[in-house]
Structure 1
């Protein structure tokens, strides 16, 4: 007859805690466990041990009444679960029960949305809140009460398919919704609430081939002049995006002044979308160096404090709209058009225009922008702008300065 486990807590003098050694037969994982209790909680440890022993006795009592067909099924399935990597059927059942318990404790989608809003709303404008966030969340209203443990890739693929069939969103709206949900789960993964992002491999909608948003040389000059006059700390960000082709909402935000190697003539950029080499090196153009001259010895991030609001005030015309106020953005008149990756597309279009026909033009631009092939070049940048426009773009210069430029600290 097997020896009956006494299952009594012992005091661990090294840890200054009570420890209960739970044998595999009583463990919820099917493996030996050690459960610790605070120094003054011996009775809690004893009560937990009694609970495990009582549960074991109840299980034994149930086993007496197991029907023959259930026993035959257990014998049949044990080799299968062993092939799946479990020690035996008991280990399989214990693991699955633990998974179910963990799933039942997972947060709801509503709690993730609330957490995301709390983390990001301080940087949202009233316009973004009303036109982007509220419509985005309203589309998820019917599933907000579901637990995220139920929301695997198949769930989201099915939900997106049904939403597309019923609401018929355009490619841009579809991709914004997909990207928004993906961001919600990225936050959950970062906070270790949910281990994986179920939307990582779901493809976006294909948008119709067309021109990408590109600023005119006049618009770039106007934006930089206003930034130089009213919020000069924002200048390094804008000129790095426009004259080095960085993604303005990801790559540029990780750039530090130390990443500019003025002697070698390149900017080190961390790649965000391209697999493989984690870095790329972009040639520093004369235009970029001219604008960055006051910051050649500066250190730290090129992104100043309160960045999102300061960028919005420049782009959407707070400084150039008569009688504008912080509290009423609806009355601002946009200083320049703005679109997704507009600074990056401007760089690619005008760089190609300025170097068109030169040996290695395509290869150099692809390397500068971190492209793994020439599809984007051929689709968007090849012959997109005239040589005259390219010349005007790269001749954009900062306002005249005194000979002795005082570096901004």
Structure 2
């Protein structure tokens, strides 16, 4: 009886990889093969070997009770199996048994979706949850109870094409959907089924010409800060920090405490909410931020006051500054300034780039200040090019002259 290979992976120090020796009898090429796995993929190598071994042993067990009629059918199928690229009918069965076993253990798409929420929910703003995640999940509602084992590249090409034909989404929405589904299949649960992401080779839609992101004018920033200074001074640290440190106004700002401002070292410690592999970043405290924060340097606790959303809305939308307006009736308010998603962060990045454009190392600095991985992210999503004159006006914004006489709030 021929010796049966052990199908146990071993580590090849010369190559720095895990290796599984596959015998000619179960190799697709009909020749002895070596299958390699990266240094940290020992579990994947063991799982690969286990599936091959289990399939082979399962087939052998079934073969003990094989009847003449089935043997005759197997002979007929031998040529067909070879025609489809298998070593023979036995190799075909081994592979198919492995596929069936993998499919039986495959998680449902709903499990991936729930795992993704569990991993990321703490970093999402309410706005992101409502406008990005919930619509994304609704589009996959009919697929949630299906196992992911059959959701290969061909499946997703067909699904994305059918969805695009029916809904006719914008290129931005199409690319968001594609990118988020691709992220689902990066989870460890999916990697046990697909070693290669089935959406890796799917191409996104051609994007439209980039539109300028919204930024506040220097006049609007000053108007808003002066209104906060006069009518609701506890909101000054929030607005000043969002505009002059570039923190995300609906997520990062809510985690900031006055203890995170290091006035001696001259930086602000900001927790990163989207690039989770980094624990935090340090943003230089600009002169404008220092000036507005001077009365609050001794304060402790969160920079977000109680009843924050209502108070912020009342200030931005003119509850205090509309002549004759009633605080109890928003219909009588006239918006004080233009407001939008991340407008403070866009303003910070655009005016900082306008002031320092062309300086050595300026690109690296803005990437670090914004908490991005590279300049492409800033250039694509956050920059609305400003002139140097506009940038100088922005960074020269200061509190009223009386501010220097205000006693620090402890």
TM-score, structure 1 as length reference: 0.56
Alpha-carbon deviation of 1:205?
5.2
* Contact 2:224–2:316, Cα closer than 8 Å, also in 1: no
* Contact 2:215–2:343, Cα closer than 8 Å, also in 1: yes
Q: 3-state DSSP class of the match of 1:397?
A: coil
Q: What number of residue pairs does the alignment pair up?
A: 338
**Structure 1, gaps ≥5 residues long:** 1-27, 33-54, 83-87
CA distance in 2, matches of 1:378, 1:144: 33
Q: 3-state DSSP class of the match of 2:239?
A: helix
2:267 counterpart of 1:266: yes
For residue 387 of structure 2, the aligned residue among 360, 385, 388 is 385
Alpha-carbon deviation of 1:356?
5.4
Change (3 A) 1:257 1:171: farther
Q: 3-state DSSP class of the match of 1:267?
A: strand
Q: 3-state DSSP class of the match of 1:292?
A: helix
2:286 counterpart of 1:282: no
Give the corresponding residue for 2:369: 368
TM-score, structure 2 as length reference: 0.56
Change (3 A) 1:137 1:268: closer
Give the corresponding residue for 1:67: 71
* Contact 1:362–1:377, Cα closer than 8 Å, also in 2: no
* Contact 1:352–1:382, Cα closer than 8 Å, also in 2: no
Give the corresponding residue for 1:224: 225
Change (3 A) 1:157 1:214: farther
Give the corresponding residue for 1:102: 105
CA distance in 2, matches of 1:89, 1:380: 53
Alpha-carbon deviation of 1:368?
3.2
Change (3 A) 1:209 1:89: closer
Alpha-carbon deviation of 1:298?
5.1
Alpha-carbon deviation of 1:262?
1.9
**Structure 2, gaps ≥5 residues long:** 1-49
Post-superposition Cα deviations, 1:97-130, rounded to whole Å, max 9, x if no partner, equal: 4422233x625489859x89xx89x9858xx96x
CA distance in 1, matches of 2:238, 2:276: 25
Q: 3-state DSSP class of the match of 2:215?
A: coil
Give the corresponding residue for 1:163: 163
Q: 3-state DSSP class of the match of 1:67?
A: helix
Matches within 5 A, 1:396-407: 396-398=397-399, 400-401=402-403, 403-407=406-410
CA distance in 2, matches of 1:375, 1:357: 18
Give the corresponding residue for 2:244: 243
2:346 counterpart of 1:342: no
